[in-house]
Amino acid sequence: MSKDYSARLADIVSDNKDQLLDVWLAGLFSKLMRRDKAGDAEVRQKAAQFLPLLADTLKKSETLNIQSPEWGDLRQLLEEISQSRVRQGFTPIETASFIFSLKEPLFDHLRKALGDDSKQLADSIAVTSTLFDDLGLFTVEVYQKAREQVILRQQQELLELSTPVVQLWDGILALPLIGTLDSARTQVVMESLLEKIVETGSEIAIIDITGVPTVDTLVAQHLLKTIAAARLMGADCIISGIRPQIAQTIVHLGVNLEDVITKSTLADAFIIAMKRTGASINTSESRQQRA
């Protein structure tokens, strides 16, 4: 039954291509919140490609399982459409409507073709409905995955923008960490600190965690690894801004900070760093006189 059904549906699609396209597009456009020329042109083009490809696939395929290889080209077309929708900021419903808007026009043609045979008509509509549901759900799935990737990319960019490494003095860098640290963010931040160490030729990096409310094992491990890596490169790190609660957490977690210099304030860390690099601060005479 499946093979006859496929062949019949393929014929209906091929024979009524233009009509189907018109009614389909009308339905599609009516569902969109906003429209523009370029978007419309793209939809028209993709719809025009979809119909013959659907007919072709139906004729050639042994199965109505859209995950099988024969349906690969059709899936590819739907992927392109979904990904484009994500880029243009459409909603998942607007994206899925690409498929669902084709159902009604197709049913109309099925009714016209099989009007006399109610059993065949019922079966055909049922099978067509299932097929289109599968295709529609597929477009939503692709949409969601594409959307996730956009979000991940944006997060990455935000990360890089929001963790600046500051040069406090010749040879002394400071990395003020603010907010909660998660594993991914910590890694990115630490990598950029090491890059900056090479770029500026700084021998000391002060990692200030005053603005970090909690530190978990993973973050502590990343911190330690960064300090170890900096040492291998020829630089030293000082951790400053450790609050009592964090000190407690660190001890509870059993994290070993024996080899690391720690200071409770950034200012203290800076003084140590200055001493290490051989610099010193002199207050000018006029200031001394005023005091």
Partner 1 sequence: MERIPILRMGRLLLVTIQVDMHDRLAMTLQDDLTARIVKDRANGVLIDISALDIVDSFIGRMISNTAAMAKILDADTVLVGMQPAVAITLVELGLNLTGVRTALNVERGMQMLDRSHE
Partner 2 sequence: MTDIMPVTVMPVKTDEDVVRLRKHVRDTMVAIGFSLIEQTKVITAASELARNTLRYGGGGEVSIHHIDEFDRKGVMLVFSDKGPGIEDIALALTDGYTSGGGLGLGLSGAKRLVDEFELDTRVGEGTSVSIAKWKRY
Residues that bind partner 1 (CB under 8 A): 191, 194-195, 197-198, 201, 203, 225, 228-235
Question: Quick one: which of 152, 166, 178, 233 contacts partner 2 (CB under 8 A)?
Answer: 152
Residue 228 binding result from partner 1, partner 2, none, given CB thresholds of 5 to 8 Å by partner type? partner 1
- Cα angle value 49/55/61 (rounded, 5°): 120
Residue 148 or 199: the one with the smaller Cβ distance to partner 1 is: 199
Q: What are phi and psi of 100, to 5 degrees?
A: -65, -30
Q: Which does 149 bind (CB under 5 to 8 A by kind): partner 1, partner 2, none?
A: partner 2
Burial of 77 (0-12, 13-18, 19+ CB in 10 A): middle
15/195 with CB nearer partner 1? 195
Stretch of residues binding partner 2 (CB under 8 A), selected from 35-43, 59-67, 102-110, 146-154: 146-154
Report how far residue 27's alpha carbon sits from residue 93's, in angstroms, rounded to the nearest whole number. Answer: 13
- In the complex, least distance from residue 149 CB atom to partner 2, rounded to whole angstroms: 6
- Nearest partner of 59 among 9, 124, 126, 134, judged by Cα: 9
End-to-end Cα, the chain, rounded Å: 100
Helix (H, G, I), strand (E, B) or coil at 101: coil
Shortest Å distance, C-beta 271 to partner 1: 22
Q: Which of positions 191-220 make contact with partner 2 (CB under 8 A)?
A: 191
CB of 152 to partner 2, least distance (A): 5
Select the residue interacting with partner 2 from 153, 216, 217, 256 (CB under 8 A).
153
Instruction: Determine, following the binding rule CB under 8 A, whether residue 145 of this chain makes contact with partner 2.
Output: yes
Of positions 91, 156, 183, 248, contacts partner 2 by CB under 8 A = 156
Which residue, among 49, 68, 70, 55, has the nearest Cα to 9 in the 3D structure?
55
Name the E strands within the chain.
Answer: 166-169, 172-178, 204-211, 236-240, 261-263
How far is it, in rounded angstroms, from Cα 170 to Cα 30? 64
Smaller CB distance to partner 2: residue 122 or 152? 152
Name the residues that contact partner 2, by CB under 8 A.
145, 148-149, 152-153, 156, 191
